């Protein structure tokens, strides 16, 4: 039995479900439990179960039962380092943990590592800024964040103010401060300097609670001690397992529709999307040059992640590195924070047609990091970060236009087309909702491809996607999908 368990793929959620079933079997002998836990502990990917499963709780319980208190304490700290988000619902497990002085002391020891992790936590002025602009207060009233709570004043709509957001604060909350108080506060002034000059220290991104779904990023930030092997970290980001974007396709929309395809869900599904934020943190800490120096040792598609930054200089450098003239200008269109007109859409389609190598690299990048997907519940990239603001409102999905002529570059597009009209995404866990939100963008690509090829299937797809009165058809009207189809039919077909 244990040999079979050890052969299972630990990147999959189902593996950890099976592990927990085994460890929580009331008939399991302690000798079997310790044999399994000890063998699992030496596996290099054991940590994959420390973020989105209850494995740390169950492992801790067994170690306490076996009298291995030091290992139990280390397991609790490891779970905090990796950002454990799940607790066991097994009453026997929770009883052991709640009664354990070892667990309580381990947590206390973890939080004593850095004073800022102890209540009342960090002041806003010490949290790295993720957004800073000066302008009129945009709503009826906002509190002046630079005033103590007991003496706060209200800034009314239209008042000149600094508007800002901070890392690890409520990610969608924007604060306001009167310029005279903001600039007179030494801590805020220093924070502003670091933000504008990319001069933060990685230690400043440590927080009491883990911020990411990707376990390796949480662990990196929690354990950073002043030395950094940037190339190794980026290779880790480019090859980490367990964080793929998973989806399910059905024949029709609604509960009970026949399932056409279902990915096996990864244990930390969709967490690959956090890699863009990791690059942002590294950039804000002054490592941009080092990132570019590391690119030759990374997968060929990795530089395209840097195009997510709304930074003309970065995009131009990526264009030069990849040897693709015009790439920066095309990304300025693809990631524009607005709806594109038909002529602009055709430009993106045509650029892709002329650069098949780029299409293949883009397809690989999107498949792994998922930044073409808009999920209003879990922003990835986080559009509440100023440099990623263009990813709000699904504007990010226009990058798919580069792939209109090459559905094979993104296997999901080929799947949808082969399953035929009426195919839909089935809603799943919240982290997977982005596929459903972006359905009109995926189907726009299918319609565009069929139009380019003069394919006889086009009429059926048009009827299924454009002729209905549902929300998807309304979105196609906003996207000008029919006008794009008409324009692409006039272009010469290419094999």
Q: Are residues 262 and 135 in the same domain?
A: no
Q: 96-110, 184-198, 481-495: which range is least confident on average?
A: 481-495
pLDDT score, position 117: 45
Burial (Cβ within 10 Å: 0-12, 13-18, ≥19) of residue 159: middle
Hey, how many other C-beta atoms are within 10 angstroms of the C-beta on 147? 15
**Structure confidence at residue 305 as a pLDDT band (50, 70, 90):** very high
Please give the Cα distance from 429 to 265 (Å, whole number).
10
Same-domain pairing of 42 and 98: yes
Domain-terminating residue out of 195, 213, 228: 195
Among the candidates 177, 195, 213, a domain finishes at 195
Question: Residue 482 sits in which domain range?
Answer: 248-490
pLDDT band at 173 (very low <50, low <70, confident <90, very high): confident
pLDDT at residue 294 tops 80: yes
Tokens of 220: 């990196």
pLDDT of 119 reads 44
- Domain membership of residue 370 (yes or no) is yes
Q: What is the pLDDT of residue 126?
A: 83
**Structural contact between residues 447 and 464, judged by C-beta atoms closer than 8 angstroms:** no
**C-alpha to C-alpha distances, 176 to 162, 200, 351, nearest whole angstrom:** 6, 22, 42
φ and ψ at residue 323, rounded to 5 degrees:
65, 40
Whether residues 53 and 80 fall in one domain: yes
Instruction: Tell me, yes or no, whether 425 and 455 share the same domain.
Output: yes
Looking at the chain, how many residues does it have? 495
pLDDT of residue 125: 81
User: CA Rg, the chain, in Å?
Assistant: 25
pLDDT digits (tens, 9 = 90+) for 46-64: 999 999 999 999 999 999 9
Domain assignment of residue 86, yes or no: yes
Measured distance CA(384)–CA(325) in Å, rounded: 31
- Find out whether 371 and 396 touch, Cβ atoms under 8 Å: yes
Burial of 99 (C-beta count, 10 Å sphere; 0-12/13-18/19+):
exposed
Q: What is the pLDDT of residue 118?
A: 44
Please determine, for residue 432, whether its predicted confidence score (pLDDT) is greater than 80.
Answer: no
For range 100-106, the mean pLDDT? 93
CA atoms within 13 A on the CB side of 197: 9
What does the DSSP 8-state code read for residue 416? H
Q: How many CB atoms lie within 10 A of CB 85?
A: 17
Query: Domain check: are 322 and 296 in the same one?
Result: yes
Residue 289's pLDDT band (cuts 50, 70, 90): very high
Residue 477 and residue 379: Cα distance in Å, rounded?
25
Q: For position 378, what pLDDT does the model report?
A: 80
| Whole-number Å distance between alpha carbons of 466 and 485 | 11
Helices 458-466 and 439-453: angle between axes, nearest 10 degrees = 150
Q: Answer yes or no: is 280 within a domain.
A: yes
Closest CA to 324 of 362, 298, 294, 370: 362
What is the average per-residue pLDDT within 27-50?
96
Residue 420: which of 283, 250, 247 has the closest Cα? 250
What is the average pLDDT score of the chain?
91
pLDDT at 120: 45
Residues 119, 317: Cα–Cα separation, whole Å: 43
Q: Cβ(98)–Cβ(66) under 8 Å?
A: no
Tell me phi and psi for residue 105, to 5 degrees.
-70, -35
Could you report the per-residue pLDDT of 325-357, keeping only the tens digit for each? 999 999 999 999 999 999 999 999 999 999 999
**Number of compact structural domains in the chain:** 3
| Domain identity same for 175 and 270 | no
One domain, residues 283 and 383: yes
Is residue 347 in some structural domain?
Answer: yes
119 domain-assigned: no
Residue 476 has pLDDT above 80, yes or no: yes
Contact yes or no for 356/341 (Cβ under 8 A): no
- In terms of domains, do 322 and 443 share one? yes
CA distance 107 to 112: 9
pTM: 0.93
pLDDT score at 296: 98
Looking at the fold, whether 408 and 304 belong to one and the same domain comes out as yes
- DSSP SS3 for 400: helix
Task: For residues 421 and 276, state if they share a domain.
Answer: yes
């Amino acid at each position: 039995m244990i040999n079979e368990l050890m052969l299972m793929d630990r990147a999959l959620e189902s593996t950890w479900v099976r592990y927990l079933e085994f460890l929580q079997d009331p008939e399991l002998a302690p000798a079997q439990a310790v044999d399994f836990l000890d063998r699992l502990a030496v596996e290099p990917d054991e940590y994959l179960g420390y973020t989105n499963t209850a494995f740390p709780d169950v492992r801790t319980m067994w170690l306490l039962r076996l009298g291995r208190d030091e290992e139990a304490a280390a397991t609790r700290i490891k779970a905090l380092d990796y950002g454990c988000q799940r607790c066991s619902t097994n009453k026997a497990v929770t009883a052991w943990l709640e009664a354990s002085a070892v667990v309580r002391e381990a947590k206390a020891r973890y939080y004593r590592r850095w004073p800022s992790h102890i209540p009342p936590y960090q002041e806003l002025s010490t949290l790295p800024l993720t957004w800073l602009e000066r302008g009129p207060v945009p709503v009826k009233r906002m509190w002046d964040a630079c005033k103590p709570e007991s003496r706060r004043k209200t800034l009314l709509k239209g008042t000149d103010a600094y508007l800002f957001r901070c890392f690890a604060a409520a990610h969608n909350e924007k604060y306001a401060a009167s310029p005279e108080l903001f600039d007179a506060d030494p801590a805020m002034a220093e924070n502003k300097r670091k933000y504008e000059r990319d001069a933060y220290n990685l230690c400043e991104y440590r927080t009491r609670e883990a911020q990411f779904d990707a376990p390796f990023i949480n662990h990196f930030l929690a354990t950073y001690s002043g030395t950094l092997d940037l190339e190794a970290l980026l290779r880790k980001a480019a090859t980490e397992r367990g964080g793929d974007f998973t989806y399910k396709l059905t024949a029709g929309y609604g509960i009970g529709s026949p399932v056409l395809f279902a990915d096996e869900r990864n244990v930390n599904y969709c967490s690959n999307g956090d890699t863009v934020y990791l690059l942002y943190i590294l950039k804000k800490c002054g490592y941009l040059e080092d990132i570019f120096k590391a690119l030759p040792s990374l997968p060929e598609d990795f530089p395209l992640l840097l195009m997510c930054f709304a930074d003309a200089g970065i995009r131009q450098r990526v264009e030069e590195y990849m040897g693709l003239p015009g790439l920066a200008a095309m990304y300025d269109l693809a990631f524009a924070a607005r709806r594109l007109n038909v002529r602009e859409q055709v430009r993106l389609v045509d650029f892709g047609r002329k650069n098949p190598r780029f299409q293949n690299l883009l397809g690989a990048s999107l498949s792994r990091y998922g930044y073409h997907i808009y999920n209003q519940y879990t922003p990835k990239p986080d559009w509440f970060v100023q440099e990623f603001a263009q990813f709000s409102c699904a504007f990010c999905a226009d990058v798919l236009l580069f792939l209109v002529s090459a559905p094979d570059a993104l296997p999901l597009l080929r799947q949808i087309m082969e399953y035929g009209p009426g195919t839909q995404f089935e809603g799943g866990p919240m982290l997977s909702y982005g596929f459903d939100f972006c359905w009109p963008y995926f189907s726009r690509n299918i319609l565009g491809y069929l139009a380019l090829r003069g394919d006889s299937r086009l009429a059926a797809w048009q009827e299924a996607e454009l002729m209905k009165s549902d929300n998807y058809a309304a979105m196609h009207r906003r996207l000008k999908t029919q006008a794009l189809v008409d324009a692409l039919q006039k272009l010469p077909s290419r094999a």
